[in-house]
Amino acid sequence: MDEQFGAGILRDAKADGFIIACPVEKSGQDEFDFEYGETFHSHIEAFQPTFCKVLVRYNPEGNQALNRRQTNRLKRLSYYLHSANRSLFMFELLVPPEKAQLEKVKGDNKAYDVEIRPKLMIQTIEELQDAHVEPDVWKIEGLDLREDCERVVAAARYGGRAKVGCIVLGRGEDDNKVREWLTTAATVPGFIGFAVGRTDFWEPLVGWRAKKNTRGAAVDEVAKRYREFVDIFEKDRTS
User: What is the predicted pLDDT for the residue at 3?
Assistant: 92
Chain center to CA of 12: 24
User: What is the predicted pLDDT for the residue at 115?
Assistant: 96
What pTM was estimated for this model as a whole?
0.93
Mean pLDDT of 139-163: 97
**pLDDT band per the 50, 70, 90 thresholds, residue 236:** confident
User: What is the predicted pLDDT for the residue at 111?
Assistant: 96
Phi and psi at 106, nearest 5°, equal 55, 35
Q: Which CATH class is domain 3-198?
A: alpha beta
- Structural domain spans, the chain: 3-198
Of all residues in the chain, what percent carry a pLDDT higher than 90? 91
Q: Residue 237: pLDDT above 90?
A: no
Side chain identity at residue 152, one-letter code: V
Name 89's bridge partners: 52
Instruction: Go through 83-93 and write b for each residue having 16 or more CB atoms within 10 A of its CB, e for each that does not.
Output: eeeebbbbbbb
Mean pLDDT of 74-87: 90
Q: Is the alpha carbon torsion for 213, 225, 22, 184 positive or negative?
A: negative
